[in-house]
Structure 1
């Protein structure tokens, strides 16, 4: 969560999560109960054969269950499923870790990291089309951009961690998470999306960076109304930093609503 930076540097954070087992739990020491201990009885799964049609698709032959299971086994399906569940279990902390900026400002029951990323994904979904911008990629970047916080937590400027050190920690955490996922194409995609956002190296990254700030000030506006607070810091820290027309337009609308609300309070 980005707010005005502090000039002091605090010692490296050592975040303790008693509710989460160490990563070794996922990658090495995980003891899983055995599933499918009984050998299934042979069955035949029939697929109707078809002659080649205008679309070029040819006929399909009947495939037995044994043949299907042999193919699944050779593709490492059990290992892949196990890695996927390990990865998703690790991501659970994104749902339960509260965004620190709100905690620091005394907001009770604030949003989680996953809450923040979800509404950013909705922003990418409903935003108007922009030339050269891939909407699906924006949604993916929004989902991935804070994923490393499942391990390192929400590091804010008030923690005094230099930007380079924050990036290093998050990169290491993301690599570790991708190892839990088992590597492969999806893990590489996650790394690529995260790095693209981190480097602000594409039109999609520019837009999602704006969504990150827009979501934060929209949440600040909502918390001001709900808790009777004035959260100037979040609006000041984002002023003049939007890169896209959509980001500027949405931020202007939020600031306009905030101005009206504050004026009504004074009257």
Structure 2
């Protein structure tokens, strides 16, 4: 393949990925959250959370770099298919089919790098490694953390309870479980303060 054709394809890939900076996450749009996060914003914070793994809180020696890579590719297909949620009227099977097709297209644009991205995406989808399972924990945790941030911003305790209900008891890694406990504690405190202010 000539360098010009290769670079043309890479540019197409980068433009596709660039869409993720502007596509709002569907769950928040459906909940009427103003100025909600983009898909890229979600993936970015997930990626940063992988840096928080240390010798103390990572007893199973997860590969941090692999966790970071999975975090950065897990929603990549959404630059083509959009952010499909259970509320979109698309079956889980159809969602997976569309996303798989999109990832194959992305892989074709970037050659060996694309093959690697596709492999990591499948690893996440099929939950076939400890790193993929950790990334799933990050995905769920970032969602409830974001939900709590919106509740605080809008001074609306429990407004986004459905996101907490959907993830309850579904975290596995001890480090993330500890963060969930702290988040729940702060959320409870926020609710109590709001009730006191309402009655003041």
Task: State the Cα distance separating 1:100 from its structure 2 match.
Answer: 0.7
Task: State the Cα distance separating 1:249 from its structure 2 match.
Answer: 1.1
The residue aligned with 1:260 is 189
2:154 to 212, 227, 230: 227
The residue aligned with 1:139 is 68
Tell me whether 1:211 sits opposite 2:138 in the alignment: yes
Is this contact kept in 2: 1:107–1:223, CA < 8 A?
yes
- TM-score, with normalisation over the residues of structure 2? 0.91
- Alpha-carbon separation, structure 1, partners of 2:88 and 2:6: 37
- TM-score, with normalisation over the residues of structure 1? 0.69
Tell me whether 1:122 sits opposite 2:48 in the alignment: yes
Q: Which has the larger radius of gyration?
A: 1
Shift >4 Å, 4+ stretches: none
- Alpha-carbon separation, structure 1, partners of 2:71 and 2:94: 22
- Alpha-carbon separation, structure 2, partners of 1:147 and 1:128: 27
Equivalent positions of 1:52-67 (< 5 A) are none
The residue aligned with 1:90 is 16
The residue aligned with 1:27 is none
The residue aligned with 1:241 is 170
Is this contact kept in 2: 1:224–1:231, CA < 8 A?
yes
Is this contact kept in 2: 1:132–1:203, CA < 8 A?
no
Task: State the Cα distance separating 1:76 from its structure 2 match.
Answer: 4.0
The residue aligned with 1:175 is 104
Q: Higher helix fraction: Structure 1 or Structure 2? A: 2
Residues 25-51 of structure 1: CA distance to partner in whole angstroms, max 9, x if unpaired?
A: xxxxxxxxxxxxxxxxxxxxxxxxxxx
Tell me whether 1:78 sits opposite 2:4 in the alignment: yes
- Alpha-carbon separation, structure 2, partners of 1:200 and 1:235: 22
Task: State the Cα distance separating 1:160 from its structure 2 match.
Answer: 2.9
Give the number of equivalent residue pairs: 191
Larger relative contact order (Cα-Cα within 8 Å, sequence gap ≥ 6): 1
The residue aligned with 2:90 is 161
- Alpha-carbon separation, structure 2, partners of 1:99 and 1:241: 21
Q: CA RMSD in A?
A: 1.3
Equivalent positions of 1:44-59 (< 5 A) are none
The residue aligned with 1:11 is none
User: Per the alignment, in what secondary structure is the counterpart of residue 133 of structure 1?
Assistant: coil
Is this contact kept in 2: 1:90–1:150, CA < 8 A?
yes
User: Per the alignment, in what secondary structure is the counterpart of residue 91 of structure 1?
Assistant: helix
Tell me whether 1:190 sits opposite 2:121 in the alignment: no
Is this contact kept in 2: 1:151–1:173, CA < 8 A?
yes
